[in-house]
Amino acid sequence: MKKFLVFGTPGLVGSRFVDLLAAERQPITPEVHEVDITDKTSLLNFFEKKNKSFDAVVNFAAITNVDEIEKERGNEKGLAWQVNVEGAANVADAAKKFDKFLVHISTDFVFSGSKDNPGPYTEDVKLPEDPDEISWYGWTKLMGERKVTEIGGRVAIVRISYPYRAHHTQKMDFARNILSLYDEGKLYPMFTDQIMTPTFIDEAASVIEEICELEKSGTFHLASSNATTAYEFASYLLEKARKVKNVVKKGSLEEFLKTPGRTPKPARGGLDTRKTQKILGMKFKTWQQAVDEFVEQVNG
Ligand SMILES: NC(=O)c1ccc[n+]([C@@H]2O[C@H](COP(=O)([O-])OP(=O)(O)OC[C@H]3O[C@@H](n4cnc5c(N)ncnc54)[C@H](OP(=O)(O)O)[C@@H]3O)[C@@H](O)[C@H]2O)c1
């Protein structure tokens, strides 16, 4: 059974991945004050020191505040570029040097989700060539993917999309945010034209574990097996979790994004997971099945 070194574990996705790992895995989970992935020397020293204690690396570490990162557009000295591109490359370099299998976590925000080129996207579809097509966050994640792929070694790029989980004190996610806004009477209109395939983190965690165990290299999409809209997702979630119907107002992301200064977001986005499911011999949950499980945990 493989043992893991995992970066970014205090975060929303990484912390759940570690929670759900079998205890025998004994993951090593350094926080940023122990190993900053932008510090190549300290990263290599850490790999050297722990070399015998792990076989696979999973990198969840990233700068993820999409609207804040937009203020850094074009700045390759900015924090998002340093962590999401250079830091990702440092981890890939170290993994290759020490011959470890690496899972690098990425996002559906690498795609434009535009009208001319809509999702859900397959794993090998053509990627944007111009940063202006996507958010700066998406661009840094895309450049991170590129660097990691160029460095090579035994690597899986795993893209996820609107990840959510039943509990986490530090960070809100798409699903818990809907519940919390509804409970406070502040739920804003949800978009009927926002195509998405949310990732239930509990399911993604077990798939990432499997990718490591099988050492499957390549690009993988981990998300619901069918697509939805933000409006449909919110309506279903509130019906299941709060037993209310027809409480969600309708909005349009296309209209919302027309206001100057908005951060670009994939309106017609989402990940097509069919190839990943086939390669791994797995059947991913529909978004409705995942919401049902999420609600059981939230209310449980
Ligand atoms: N959340 C989403 O909606 C979403 C959607 C699609 C894909 N993803 C991807 O999924 C992965 C995990 O996202 P998340 O939502 O869990 O992010 P998160 O909650 O923001 O966690 C990111 C983690 O990375 C750590 N980190 C930041 N800079 C670091 C550095 N220089 N060295 C070491 N660690 C560092 C952070 O530590 P501190 O908090 O201590 O700074 C934090 O624990 C990321 O690759 C992200 O791009 C996220």
Distance from the alpha carbon of residue 245 to the mean position of ligand 1, in angstroms: 34
Distance CA 266, CA 271 (A): 11
- pTM of the predicted model as reported, rounded to 2 decimal places: 0.98
Distance from the alpha carbon of residue 141 to the mean position of ligand 1, in angstroms: 11
Residue 300's pLDDT is: 84
Distance CA 21, CA 57 (A): 14
pLDDT digits (tens, 9 = 90+) for 251-273: 999 999 999 999 999 999 999 99
Residue 246's pLDDT is: 97
Residue 25's pLDDT is: 83
CA nearest ligand 1 atom 38, residue: 32
CA nearest ligand 1 atom 3, residue: 162
Residue 83's pLDDT is: 98
Distance CA 13, CA 208 (A): 11
Residue 22's pLDDT is: 81
Mutate to test the pocket of ligand 1, among 34, 58, 64 (most ligand atoms within 8 A of CB): 64
Q: Which residues pair with 268 in a beta bridge?
A: 195
> CATH number of 4-299: 3.40.50.720, 3.40.190.10, 3.10.105.10, 3.20.20.140?
3.40.50.720
Q: Tens digit of pLDDT per residue, the chain (300 long)? A: 899 999 999 999 999 999 999 878 889 999 999 999 999 999 999 999 999 999 999 999 999 999 999 999 999 999 999 999 999 999 999 999 999 999 999 999 999 999 999 999 999 999 999 999 999 999 999 999 999 999 999 999 999 999 999 999 899 999 999 999 999 999 999 999 999 999 999 999 999 999 999 999 999 999 999 999 999 999 999 999 999 999 999 999 999 999 999 999 999 999 999 999 999 999 999 999 999 999 999 998
Residue 101's pLDDT is: 98
CA nearest ligand 1 atom 26, residue: 61
Could you give the angle at which helices 40-50 and 88-97 cross, rounded to 10 degrees?
A: 40
Where along the chain do its domains lie?
Answer: 4-299
Alpha carbon 64 to its chain's center? 9
Distance from the alpha carbon of residue 116 to the mean position of ligand 1, in angstroms: 30
Mutate to test the pocket of ligand 1, among 13, 38, 148, 221 (most ligand atoms within 8 A of CB): 13
Distance from the alpha carbon of residue 221 to the mean position of ligand 1, in angstroms: 18
Point out the ligand 1 atom lying closest to the alpha carbon of residue 12.
Answer: 16
Residue 23's pLDDT is: 79
Distance from the alpha carbon of residue 144 to the mean position of ligand 1, in angstroms: 13
Q: What is the largest distance, in Å, between two alpha-carbon atoms of the chain?
A: 57
Cβ neighbors of 259 (< 8 A, separation 6 or more) are none
> Is there a cis peptide before residue 120, judged by omega within 30 degrees of 0?
yes
The answer to whether the CB of 127 falls within 8 A of the CB of 142 is: yes
Q: Which residues line ligand 1 (CB under 6 A)?
A: 7-8, 10-14, 31-32, 36-38, 60-64, 83, 87, 105, 107, 141, 160-163, 171
Residue 297's pLDDT is: 97
The pairing of beta strand 4-7 with beta strand 56-59: parallel
The pairing of beta strand 218-222 with beta strand 56-59: unpaired
Residue 26's pLDDT is: 84
CA nearest ligand 1 atom 7, residue: 107
91 closest CA partner among 151, 25, 163: 151
Residue 169's pLDDT is: 86
Distance CA 96, CA 180 (A): 43
Residue 24's pLDDT is: 81
